[in-house]
Amino acid sequence: MNQNTGKTVLILGANSDVAKQCIRQYLEKGYAVIAASRDTASLEKFVQDNHLDPSRVTILYFDAVDFDSHQKFYDELSVKPHIAVYAAGFLVDNEKALRDFKGTHQMMQVNYMGAVSILNIIAMDPNNTNLERIIGLSSLSGVRGRKSNFVYGSTKAAFTQYLAGLRQELASRNIKVNALVIGYIRTKINAGLELNESLIMEPDYVAKHIVNAGNSFTIVPNFKWKIIYLILKVLPESLVAKLP
């Protein structure tokens, strides 16, 4: 295990499969971790089952859609983070989202509004001289609007654009901002979906790209997804319309 860095990572939405792997990998790199989620019991079980050092993992309750609680949550952190990772996510099938605004609203709140709420608080704290990096987990679904998932994709597109602007805002303070633009992952959120097996990434593989994020704004794990990302960026609208 690497020597303790003396630095702290705050992971918001830490109960996701990718976020849990981030906890493990950040600990291996010598960071202390604040893992925040609504499901604190699941995080406690993860720490125990994986024999992680409980003295270096702080588990806190955090609700991405309880916007009024975010300032208090941040103010009460015993240590302000060097790195903040927003990993919270929510997905509703596109057909359901088109017919039931409740699910759509939940995606907007978790994937975008909650992120903006808490990350604005973190980024704009003038007293946190620790802050070095903010990382947001976005999606290939937000690159271009496609009829199979454009409602969910729109929330991720908004989040990516927010992170792009935040990167510019924080550049003068030498704070890096990264957007992980991610394809299919073998996680709870994708369970039951019919996905191309050859394109599915494992959570620990994606976590490795988060934990080792460099200077580039857009990080697309896996060379196959990099190719898909580049094609989506340049594909004419007439061809995008033919995609599922």
For residue 185, the cross-strand partners are 201
3 lies in some domain: no
Q: Average pLDDT of 21-50?
A: 96
Contact (CB, 8 A) for 84 and 68: no
Average pLDDT over residues 137-166: 90
Q: Give the Cα separation of 193 and 93 in Å (integer).
A: 10
CB atoms inside a 10 Å sphere around CB 36: 27
Residue 208 covered by a domain: yes
Counted residue by residue, the chain has a size of 244
Over 80: is that where the pLDDT of 144 sits? Answer: no
- Amino acid (1-letter code) at residue 118: I
Residue reference for tokens 């994020």: 213
**pLDDT above 90 for 148:** no
What mean pLDDT is reported for the chain? 90
8 A C-beta contact, residue 203 and residue 18:
yes
In a domain, residue 136? The reply is yes
Q: How confident is the model at residue 232 (pLDDT cuts 50, 70, 90)?
A: confident
- Comparing 37-46, 103-112, 159-168, 181-190, which segment has the lowest mean pLDDT? 181-190
Residue 13 domain-assigned (yes or no): yes
With the C-alpha atoms ordered 115, 102, 39, 88, is the resulting torsion angle positive or negative?
negative
Residue 1's pLDDT band (cuts 50, 70, 90):
very low
* Percentage of the chain modeled with pLDDT above 90: 70
Domain assignment present for residue 1? The answer is no
Mean pLDDT of 227-236: 81
Residue-wise pLDDT for 75-102, tens only, equals 999 999 999 999 999 998 888 989 999 9
| Residue 159 falls inside a structural domain | yes
How does residue 121 score in pLDDT terms, banded at 50, 70 and 90?
very high
Mean pLDDT of 68-78: 97
**Integer Cα distance of 73 and 121 in angstroms:** 10
Domain of 53, in residue numbers: 8-240
Look up the CATH number of the domain holding residue 53.
3.40.50.720
Contact 182, 205 (CB under 8 A): no
Domains in the chain, number: 1
pLDDT attached to residue 93? 87
- Name the more confident of 69 and 199: 69
Better pLDDT: 198 or 118: 118
pLDDT in tens, 185-225: 876 655 555 566 667 889 999 999 999 999 999 999 888 88
| C-alpha to C-alpha distance for 86 and 239, rounded to whole angstroms | 33
Q: Mean per-residue pLDDT for 140-165?
A: 89
* Residue in the block written with tokens 């394109």: 199
Say which amino acid occupies 66: D
φ, ψ of residue 42 to 5 degrees: the values are: -65, -40
- Does residue 182 fall inside a structural domain? yes
Residue 2 lies in a domain: no
DSSP string, 78-94: SS--SEEEE-------H
pTM of the model: 0.91
